A and B are shown apart, each in its own frame.
Chain A
Amino acid sequence: MNIPREQRQQPGWHVDGNGLAGAMSDIFGRDITDAMGVCNFCGNRAAVAEVPAYNAGPGVVLRCAECDTILMRWATTPISTWLEMPGLRSLEIAMQP
């Protein structure tokens, strides 16, 4: 489970990485909600599905549930997607069955 929001700083509502499975498949080619990411700042390890995702603005921002570091963010225009992963140390994606 990811921790309730009052313990974090980001204002505004969020969904879970799980709800962005489709959007991330546009970037990674598949559903990566069960991939495990590690935060570069605090070392927290969590499934992409559990990461708080802020998508009310023009782009999407995924933040570490423990320390609020921006793990991943992207914005899509008609011609491309611009993806940044400033706070992501690693992403472990299981082999397809």
Chain B
Amino acid sequence: MARAAALPRLTWLPATISDVRRESATATTLRLDVDDWPGHVPGQHVDLRLTAPDGYSAVRPYSLASAGGSGTVEITVDTTPGGEVSTYLTQGARPGHHLEIRGPLGKWFVWDTSDTEPVQLIGGGSGIVPLMSMLRTHDAQQHPAQMRLLYSLPSAVHMLYRPELASLHAEGTVTFLYTRQPTAASTRPPGRITADDLRQHAINPDLKPSAFVCGPTGFVETVLTLLVGFGYDPERIRAERYGEGSST
């Protein structure tokens, strides 16, 4: 039988930072070189472990930003003020530094590319990261499903993946919802996501879309309530809460 190869047991894999890119005023994208990386599907995350010379270690989950099936391991980390792990990853990390990851993890918050139903993505702050993996996978495969993104962020300087999202915005795939400072071109008053935003920009519930919602816990709770109120089927909604430490 061809598929007899067993799944590798989940172990910590040594990773070397091969590229560091400033992604926004506060966030950084890290590319990691990992031998024997088994690949991932869009929406999955890794656990990342930092170990100090005295043996103290800290583990945090980070979503994978790179397209599924690409073999590339990229994460994007936003600064959490006073945060133990994110402060190093956004400010101290340099190419050549070593750390450890295990994964890919999470079998639930994943987009199955064999589905052709429309997909509504809604991200707040760094919650855009796994959704970007879905958009990149969609793009790389020229996938036929309709996919749209609503992205809630404080202001334009906080935008992750700006070149890619700007072109998707021009195509009408992405809507930016600024919570604090809108751009000059935007007519929407700044503020948190509302039922009106969904009515205007989200895929119509009559089309039976699935939805992926990701971001700080409070943001996710708000969006879930709004989506169900708008008529989305709760069975087709999947959520990933980042906790309250991560920023919006």
Contact = CB atoms under 8 A, between A and B. Distances in A.
Contacts of A23: 47, 59
Contacts, number: 88
A19 interface: yes
**Interface residue SS majority, chain B:** mixed
Interface stretch (B2-10, B90-98, B117-125, B149-157): B2-10
Nearest to B3: A97
A1 B237 contact: yes
Nearest to A20: B61
Given A29-B9, A49-B109, A4 B224 contact: yes
A67 to B, nearest CB: 17
Q: Of B7, B45, B108, B234, which is in contact with the most chain A CB atoms at under 10 Å from its CB?
A: B108
A13 B216 CA distance: 9
Interface string A46-60: 010110000110000
A71 to B, nearest CB: 16
A21 interface: yes
Contacts of B33: none
A31 B225 contact: no
A25 interface: yes
A34 B47 contact: no
Interface string A14-30: 11101101110100011
Contact of A18 (B10, B102, B108, B244): B108
B225 A4 contact: yes
A49 B107 contact: yes
B61 A19 contact: yes
Interface of B: 3, 6-7, 9-10, 45-47, 59, 61, 102-103, 105-109, 217-218, 221-222, 224-225, 234-235, 237-244
